[in-house]
Structure 1
């Protein structure tokens, strides 16, 4: 097979159907960008899980004057109740599960609250007595938080026991659903891209039906005839895939690293180095799907 002749046919096909080729590039770019976004979101979820699960704490919120429940009778937790809780935390039964703990009283909780909500009108109507005194626990094994919850739930002076991991799980579930939604949208867009590639190949073949007829008369094989058309589809999709890969890395570089890391430095974010795995995946998906679509389209056309 003469490579020069094949490449010449490829260039001719791309030039004749330039507007359709641009459409293929754009559809492939958009669809694979969604795929790249889904991959990046999964990477971000895993990054955040690794960062936060090790830092997740269990909070034992104590009663205030404003709580009414089975363990809170509308009175602030007493010093005796606080001492009893602290003795339980230091007991031989719980010590193997607790890495460290610290106590936050009303004034400390109010200081943190005012710093967190600085400039918010809620600060003006909140008093220290309204905020729970809290024992914050870091566990040796965060997955064993049920032991702490079972021990302190329902005892006098304790309003509630909260495992931050449960809150994190909700956030990660939402991010996971968002990434799967992006994958679903990307799947629909990829189907559209494959159909567009198929249509492009059939149009290109139809516009060159005389050349195809001549090649058949001189004994050219189906493989020789099909190769330029398949390469046209691959090249069109490859351009879109490369653009999608560049866009994915650019989002991580300029939005995540240059903006989120600077303005919201409370968690760990996916890095540019980690995002570099996305372009090869997108290129692989684009090349494989376009080759399949082009192969099916030209094979069906040549059988007509």
Structure 2
């Protein structure tokens, strides 16, 4: 196969249809930018889930004098029940560390985290004592809850999902919206690539007819057209990767560098090593598929 001839025909097609090629590049860039944003949001959601799960401490509130829970028939937790629960938690293979918080300590924490006017109306006796449990695998907190929910002396084990799920729901929704927009834009990009290749093939139908008559193979005839779509999509993918890099470098990275900000965020390294190559590859594959599909009708050999 004559590589020089194929490349020459490709550049001729790109030059003749410069406006359409530029449209393909821009639409591909926008679609792949949304696709890459969806991937980055998905990665950030996974990072936050892991980080927040690592920070989860299961709170096991013990029975008080006025507890109404069915597991507190005798009122306040006894020393025997408290010690038995502590021993069970310490020996549990799911548990990494157990910390006991007395009523007085709970009251001090309450005063530090609430407005002064509100804490003035609360006394230490009104707050429950509790065990704060750090798990070896924080995502398995439901297993611990199920095991100790009905334990003697335990009033309540709050469901951590009520705290974490709203955050994860927002992140998952943002991911789905980004990927949905990306899918729509990728379809538009494929249609534009297909239309461009058809117009190019139509404008050069005399040349392709001559090539058929002299015995040129299907691959030799189709390859220049396919490469036109690939080059346009490749440029769009590179531009989309650059836009993602700029967004992360000048936006997210600045947030990460703020004093006191400890949450791990996505970085430019994620764009360069993971997201960027993926979106470029997706753009090229979609261009090849769209080109071959459009050529089936116009370049039958």
TM class by smaller structure: 0.7 to 0.9
SS at match of 1:235: helix
Taking the aligned partners of 1:228 and 1:264, their CA distance within structure 2 comes to 55
* Counterpart contact for 2:29–2:237, Cα < 8 Å: yes
* Counterpart contact for 1:59–1:163, Cα < 8 Å: no
Judged with a 3 Å threshold, the aligned counterparts in structure 2 of structure 1 residues 297 and 130 are, in CA distance, closer, same or farther, namely farther
Judged with a 3 Å threshold, the aligned counterparts in structure 2 of structure 1 residues 145 and 174 are, in CA distance, closer, same or farther, namely farther
SS at match of 1:54: helix
Does residue 145 (structure 1) correspond to residue 141 (structure 2)? The answer is no
1:107 match = 108
Judged with a 3 Å threshold, the aligned counterparts in structure 2 of structure 1 residues 5 and 293 are, in CA distance, closer, same or farther, namely same
Judged with a 3 Å threshold, the aligned counterparts in structure 2 of structure 1 residues 219 and 31 are, in CA distance, closer, same or farther, namely same
Runs of 5+ unmatched residues, structure 2: 70-74
1:193 match = 189
Moved over 6 A (4+): 82-85
* Counterpart contact for 1:106–1:129, Cα < 8 Å: no
Does residue 95 (structure 1) correspond to residue 90 (structure 2)? The answer is yes
Judged with a 3 Å threshold, the aligned counterparts in structure 2 of structure 1 residues 138 and 106 are, in CA distance, closer, same or farther, namely same
Does residue 70 (structure 1) correspond to residue 47 (structure 2)? The answer is no
* Counterpart contact for 1:52–1:267, Cα < 8 Å: no
What does the per-residue CA deviation read over 1:233-288, in whole Å, with 9 as the maximum and x for residues that have no partner?
A: 00111111111222233333332222145267242223333332111111111111
2:298 match = 301
* Counterpart contact for 2:63–2:77, Cα < 8 Å: no
Cα RMSD for the two superposed structures: 3.2
Using the TM superposition, give the Cα deviation of residue 139 of structure 1 relative to its aligned residue in structure 2, in angstroms: 3.1
Aligned residues: 282
Using the TM superposition, give the Cα deviation of residue 217 of structure 1 relative to its aligned residue in structure 2, in angstroms: 3.6
Judged with a 3 Å threshold, the aligned counterparts in structure 2 of structure 1 residues 85 and 269 are, in CA distance, closer, same or farther, namely farther
Q: 1:230 aligns with which of 197, 214, 226?
A: 226
Taking the aligned partners of 1:106 and 1:11, their CA distance within structure 2 comes to 76
Runs of 5+ unmatched residues, structure 1: 72-77, 114-122
